Amino acid sequence: MFRAIFFILTLLVFSSCNSNANKKFKVAATAVPQAEMLHEIQPDLQEKGIDLKIIVTDDYNMPNRALTDHDIDANFFQHLPFLERQIQEFHYPLESIGKIEIEPMGIYSKKIDSIQNLKMHAKIAIPNDPTNEARALMLLEQHGIIELKNPKDLMATTRDISKNPKQIQFLEMDAAMIPRTLEDVDAAAINTNYALQADLSPMKDALILEDPNSPYANVLVIRIGDENNPKIEALKAALTSEKMKEFILKKYKGAVLPAFH
DSSP H or E stretch at residue 83 = helix 80-90
pLDDT digit string, tens, across residues 99-138:
999 988 999 999 999 999 999 999 999 999 888 999 999 9
pLDDT digit string, tens, across residues 77-97:
999 999 999 999 999 999 999
In the CATH scheme, what is the code of domain 106-209? 3.40.190.10
132 phi, psi to nearest 5 deg: -75, -25
Contacts of 100 (CB under 8 A, 6+ apart): 37, 76, 217, 218, 219, 220, 239, 240, 258, 259, 260
CA atoms 119, 209, 133, 177: torsion sign: positive
In the chain, what's the furthest Cα-to-Cα distance? Answer: 59
pLDDT digit string, tens, across residues 156-212:
999 999 999 999 999 999 999 999 999 999 999 999 889 988 999 998 999 999 876
Question: Where, residue-wise, is CATH 3.40.190.10 in the chain?
Answer: 2-103+216-258, 106-209
DSSP H or E stretch at residue 76 = strand 74-79
Fold of 2-103+216-258: D-Maltodextrin-Binding Protein; domain 2 (3.40.190)
For the entire predicted model, the pTM comes to: 0.73
